[in-house]
């Protein structure tokens, strides 16, 4: 457990930070969380390459549990904004994040392990691209979709109602809920960061393991 503790702490920090930052817009079509959450895939892939599939799953599950606890605490912390109070972490955001995180990360681990024997970049790139796509669909639909809002309390839905505003898709297309544009833009960022992350992946694996990636 000690050897993967840094991975667990990093994963927990990413989950908590992303749950908070996804509620704050960056420009018109992105949230700050789009730039923090992809780090979770980097952490998982490094743990998988260096310590193996079982260690990677332990990092995912342990980081998930720590993240859930911290998110529940965050849901009890009230922030002030535009004349009203809102939770630092919305219940819907926390639930959506938890389901999407666990599904996408475990899928990432399985795909990475399946491609482990190929070129060093193939496993982290393919697993991250597929996992991030699944994560985006699950998270944004659960956290913000009006059709899923019936499963949450009125307060939980009100906290994320800003994302259901009808606007042109990315400012130029047909009218859709804001969260659809946010999800698409988020996915594009994840695709870009999946490529960028290959550099720190290679460096971290080389530093942590005597064997090349």
pLDDT in tens, 190-202: 999 999 999 999 9
Read off the tokens for 175.
């009218």
For residue 185, the model assigns a pLDDT of 92
For residue 187, the model assigns a pLDDT of 92
Q: How far apart are CA 44 and CA 121, in angstroms?
A: 14
Q: How far apart are CA 17 and CA 9, in angstroms?
A: 12
For residue 2, the model assigns a pLDDT of 78
Residues of the chain short of pLDDT 50, as ranges, are 213
Read off the tokens for 116.
């482990």
For residue 152, the model assigns a pLDDT of 67
pLDDT in tens, 124-170: 999 999 999 999 999 999 988 877 866 666 666 666 777 888 999 98
Q: How many CB atoms lie within 10 A of CB 196?
A: 11
For residue 153, the model assigns a pLDDT of 66
Q: How far apart are CA 12 and CA 1, in angstroms?
A: 15
Query: Quick check: 87 and 95 in contact, CB under 8 A?
Result: no
């Amino acid at each position: 457990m000690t050897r993967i503790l840094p991975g667990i702490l990093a994963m927990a920090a990413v989950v908590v930070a992303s749950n908070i930052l996804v509620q704050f817009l960056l420009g018109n079509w992105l949230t700050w969380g789009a730039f923090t959450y992809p780090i979770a895939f980097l952490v998982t892939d490094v743990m998988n390459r260096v310590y193996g599939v079982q260690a990677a799953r332990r990092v995912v599950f342990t980081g998930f549990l720590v993240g859930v606890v911290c998110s529940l605490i965050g849901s009890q912390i009230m922030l002030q904004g535009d004349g009203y109070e809102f939770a630092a972490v919305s219940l819907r955001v926390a639930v959506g994040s938890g389901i999407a995180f666990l599904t996408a990360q475990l899928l990432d681990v399985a795909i990475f392990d399946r491609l482990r024997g190929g070129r060093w970049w193939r496993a982290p790139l393919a697993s991250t691209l597929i996992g991030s796509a699944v994560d985006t669909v699950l998270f944004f639909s659960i956290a913000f979709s009006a059709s899923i809002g019936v499963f949450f309390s009125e307060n939980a839905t009100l906290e994320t109602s800003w994302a259901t505003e009808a606007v042109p898709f990315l400012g130029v297309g047909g009218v859709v809920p804001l969260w659809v544009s946010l999800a698409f833009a988020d996915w594009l960022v994840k695709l870009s960061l999946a490529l960028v992350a290959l550099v720190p992946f290679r460096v971290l694996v080389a530093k942590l393991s005597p064997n090349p990636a």
